[in-house]
């Protein structure tokens, strides 16, 4: 049994706390809102985010310093936009030797930084190499029901990756390890853009053919950008690549899919985000990916189209027309091509 701090009491922080609690650990679940922490401790529920009763080995905190004091590992799972602010609070009291596992899926616009990069930038004395990312096809709602789920934990520090695997693995939550931090983080973040697209397509009333096309060509875009940045192309065929892409594009649990669905039905982004009431990471990540693609000269027409719908007022059906009328070309399966280039020649 270990004491573990989980920072971020939304859907995913609550579900990951349940996994740790099932494994016999004592969990300190931090919320930045005192009323939420009080409610969790009084009712043993966190109903706005997850419909589940929490066991007594999950205790909520609203003071970050006492939450992390003496713990054996810290799990960071706040929305990407809150990562820097959260780390600034941690900086005052964190011991640099404590393993950090993050489970947030996003890229910061403008700086184009991944979550592990932001964490290591904000925490003095904390090395990027030691951070672990946890990602994969894992909707909180199903994890809370103990439905079979698989994820990957990646770190350049293999000891930390193994420690994260040992903390979380159990009979309904299977955890693999990887050393490709870049690929695992990018796969988890970029699939949210394609899930917005899948939702838009469904909202427009297009069927399975269109969605399959978006997912396949979307994966090609993810892999194209990811490998350009140095990720291993094989990672995009794994749990945090194609696995997370499938689950997010096809599930009603996905907030990115649901937001896209409303956009496809003609609702305004501002109203959609109000209605969701939970984080829709793809909205910020598409800004970052669009900027990356322009700067690095990477062809990402689906990402560009979704950016245009979200931020340039383009109508979803116009974007579909634009995608369908691109110049004729040979199908190049980017991942197969990248693998061939890297391994077969």
Ligand X SMILES: NC(=O)C1=CN([C@@H]2O[C@H](COP(=O)(O)OP(=O)(O)OC[C@H]3O[C@@H](n4cnc5c(N)ncnc54)[C@H](O)[C@@H]3O)[C@@H](O)[C@H]2O)C=CC1
The reply, when asked if residue 191 is annotated as ligand binding, is yes
Structure tokens at 316: 């979803």
Judged by beta carbon distances under 5 to 8 A according to partner kind, the member of ligand X, ligand 13P, none in contact with residue 32 is ligand X
Which is closer to ligand 13P, CB of 62 or CB of 149?
A: 149
- Is the CB of residue 68 less than 8 Å from the CB of residue 97? no
DSSP character for 327?
P
Catalytic (active site) residue 191: yes
Is 178 marked as a binding-site residue? Answer: no
Residue 217 assigned as binding residue: no
Q: Which does 256 bind (CB under 5 to 8 A by kind): ligand 13P, ligand X, none?
A: ligand 13P
| Residue-wise DSSP of 272-305 | HHHHH-S--THHHHHHHHHHHHHHHT---HHHHH
Q: Which two tokens stand for residue 336?
A: 């197969």
- Residue 49 labeled ligand binder: yes
The sign one gets for the Cα dihedral 39, 50, 169, 102 is: negative
- Taking a C-beta distance cutoff of 8 angstroms, is the pair 181, 155 a contact? yes
Ligand-binding annotation for 11, yes or no, is yes
- State the minimum distance, in angstroms, from the CB of residue 79 to ligand X: 5
Which positions from 185 through 204 interact with ligand 13P, judged by CB under 6 A? Answer: 192, 195
Question: Catalytic: which of 92, 162, 191, 314?
Answer: 191
How near is the Cβ of 144 to ligand 13P at its closest, in Å? 13
Q: Which residues, 6 or more positions from 237, have their beta carbon under 8 angstroms from its beta carbon? A: 335
The binding track of 204-243 with respect to ligand 13P, each residue x by CB under 6 A or -, is ----------------------------------------
Least distance from ligand X to the Cβ atom of residue 345, Å: 36
Q: Which is nearer to ligand X, 32 or 337 (CB)?
A: 32
Binding mask 131-170 for ligand 13P (x = CB under 6 A): ------xxx-------------------------------
Distance CA 334, CA 313 (A): 30
Separation of CA 336 from chain center: 25
Q: Which helix (H) or strand (E) holds 101?
A: strand 100-102
Tell me the two tokens of residue 50: 């997850």
User: What letter does residue 170 receive in the DSSP assignment?
Assistant: B
For ligand X, give the closer residue by CB, 185 or 334.
185
Distance of closest approach, residue 282 Cβ to ligand 13P, in angstroms = 7
The rounded distance, in Å, linking the Cα atoms of 217 and 117 is 28
Tokens of 73: 């590992």
Tell me how many residues contact ligand 13P (CB under 6 A): 13
Alpha-helical (H) ranges within the chain are 11-22, 34-43, 64-68, 83-91, 115-122, 140-144, 158-168, 181-204, 208-228, 244-250, 255-264, 269-276, 282-296, 301-311, 316-324, 334-339
- Using DSSP's 3-state secondary structure scheme, residue 63 falls into coil
Strand partners, 176: 152
Closest separation in Å from C-beta 69 to ligand 13P:
30
The reply, when asked if residue 116 is annotated as ligand binding, is no
Query: Is residue 255 a known part of a binding site?
Result: yes
Residue 32 C-beta: closest distance to ligand X, Å: 4
Q: Which residue minimizes CB distance to ligand X?
A: 10
Q: Considering only residues 237 through 256, tell me which ones interact with ligand 13P, judged by CB under 6 A.
A: 244, 247-248, 254-256
140 is in an annotated binding site: yes
Choose among 5, 2, 189: nearest CA to 90: 5
Q: Which does 137 bind (CB under 5 to 8 A by kind): ligand 13P, ligand X, none?
A: ligand 13P
Q: Which residues are catalytic?
A: 191
Binding stretches for ligand 13P (CB under 6 A):
105, 137-139, 192, 195, 244, 247-248, 254-256, 281
Q: Which residues are annotated as a binding site?
A: 8-13, 32-33, 49, 105, 136, 138, 140, 191, 244, 254-256, 279, 281
Q: Which residues are annotated as a binding site for NAD(+)?
A: 8-13, 140, 255
Residues annotated as binding site for substrate?
105, 255-256
């Amino acid at each position: 049994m270990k004491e573990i701090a989980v920072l971020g009491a939304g859907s995913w922080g609550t579900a990951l706390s349940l996994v740790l609690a099932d494994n016999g650990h004592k969990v300190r679940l931090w919320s930045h809102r005192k009323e939420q922490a009080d409610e969790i401790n009084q009712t043993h529920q966190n109903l706005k985010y997850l419909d589940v009763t929490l066991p007594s080995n999950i205790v909520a905190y609203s003071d970050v310093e006492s939450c992390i004091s003496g713990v054996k590992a810290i799990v960071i799972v706040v929305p990407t936009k809150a990562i820097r602010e959260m780390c600034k609070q941690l900086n005052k009291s964190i011991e640099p030797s404590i393993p950090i596992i993050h489970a947030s899926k996003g890229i910061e616009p403008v700086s184009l930084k991944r979550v592990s990069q932001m964490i290591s930038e904000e925490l003095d004395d904390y090395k990027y190499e030691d951070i672990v990312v946890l990602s994969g096809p894992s909707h909180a709602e199903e994890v809370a029901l103990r439905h079979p789920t698989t994820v990957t934990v990646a770190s350049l520090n293999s000891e930390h990756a193994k420690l994260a695997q040992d903390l979380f693995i159990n009979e309904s939550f299977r955890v693999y390890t990887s050393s490709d931090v870049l690929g695992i983080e990018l796969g988890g973040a970029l699939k949210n853009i394609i899930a917005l697209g899948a939702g838009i397509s469904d909202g427009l009333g297009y069927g399975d053919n269109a969605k399959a096309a978006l997912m396949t060509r979307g994966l090609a875009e993810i892999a194209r950008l990811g490998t350009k940045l140095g990720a291993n192309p094989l990672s995009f065929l794994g749990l945090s690549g194609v696995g997370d892409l499938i689950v997010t594009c096809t599930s009603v649990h996905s907030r990115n899919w649901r937001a896209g669905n409303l956009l496809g039905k003609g609702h305004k982004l501002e109203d959609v985000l109000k209605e969701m009431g939970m984080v829709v990471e793809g909205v910020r990540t598409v800004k970052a990916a669009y900027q990356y693609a322009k700067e690095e000269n990477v062809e990402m027409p689906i990402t560009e189209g979704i950016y245009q719908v979200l931020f340039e007022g383009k109508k979803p059906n116009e974007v579909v027309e634009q995608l369908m009328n691109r110049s004729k070309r040979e199908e190049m399966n980017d991942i197969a091509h990248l693998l061939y280039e890297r391994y077969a020649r």
